Amino acid sequence: MSSAFWQWVSVVSVIINIVLIIISVGLAVDAWHERKRRNSQVKIWMEQANGVNQALIRIVQDKWHNLYSSVSDITNVINAVQASTLSLWTSLYEERVLSEKEYKEYAMKIRAKLDKKFGLDGQEESAVKTPEATEGASVTGEVVQTSDSATSASRLK
């Protein structure tokens, strides 16, 4: 009797161990895929940061060579660089802080604030698209977002 009992315990133990091994392998594969995705995303962020760095260096060099004829030229260049920094900031913010649903709500809240600030409450089309229109695509408005600790609000360029 006891010999048969211990054989069954041994069989159940082996089955449990096999299930746990399968679960462990599945989790390891998922972790590997997540690590691979994260590494590719970090490479993209690094390229974006390098692009901003190169643009800022180019602005300084062009100013030294007197390639800007007015303050307006410099302002336009800085606005272009700002669009790249906003893209990088948005990507990092989405990855680290928000789920997809939360991001859509956040984008709608910003749009409502901008519409109210600029008096666009449905009168004309805003540069910031709705989340439904941007589903599966990156947000491409030229929106200036200050840091969370700053007191100034977002504004549309």
pLDDT at residue number 142: 40
Q: How confident is the model at residue 130 (pLDDT cuts 50, 70, 90)?
A: very low
Mean per-residue pLDDT, 17-28:
95
Non-local CB neighbours of 111 within 8 Å, separated by 6+ positions:
126, 128, 130
- The count of structural domains within the chain is 2
Q: Are residues 133 and 144 in the same domain?
A: yes
CA distances from 14 to 2, 22, 93 (A): 18, 12, 46
84 Cβ contact partners less than 8 Å away, ≥ 6 residues apart = 48, 51, 52, 55
Collapse the DSSP code of 143 into the 3-class scheme (helix H, G, I; strand E, B; otherwise coil) and give the result: strand
Q: Which domain holds residue 153?
A: 99-157
Q: Are residues 83 and 37 in the same domain?
A: yes
Place of tokens 């008096």: 119
Confidence class for position 22, pLDDT limits 50, 70, 90: very high
For residue 42, give the nearest of 86, 96, 81 by alpha carbon: 96
What the block records as the tokens of 151 is: 């007191």
Say what angle helices 2-64 and 71-96 make with each other, to 10 degrees. 180
Specify whether 87 is located in the same domain as 107.
no
Token digits for 35? 């690590």
Residue 139 in contact with residue 100, Cβ under 8 Å?
no
Q: State whether 147 and 90 are in the same domain.
A: no
Same domain, 53 and 119: no
Specify whether 90 is located in the same domain as 139.
no
User: Could you give the maximum distance between any two Cα atoms of the chain, in Å?
Assistant: 98
For strand 143-144 and strand 155-156, is the pairing parallel, antiparallel, or unpaired? antiparallel
| Strand (E) or helix (H) holding 48 | helix 2-64
Average pLDDT estimate for 113-137: 57
Are 37 and 108 contained in the same domain?
no
- 88 and 125 within one domain: no
In tens, the pLDDT along 58-85 reads: 988 888 888 888 888 888 888 889 888 8
Same domain for 12 and 67, yes or no, is yes
- Tell me which of 57, 73, 97 is where a domain ends: 97
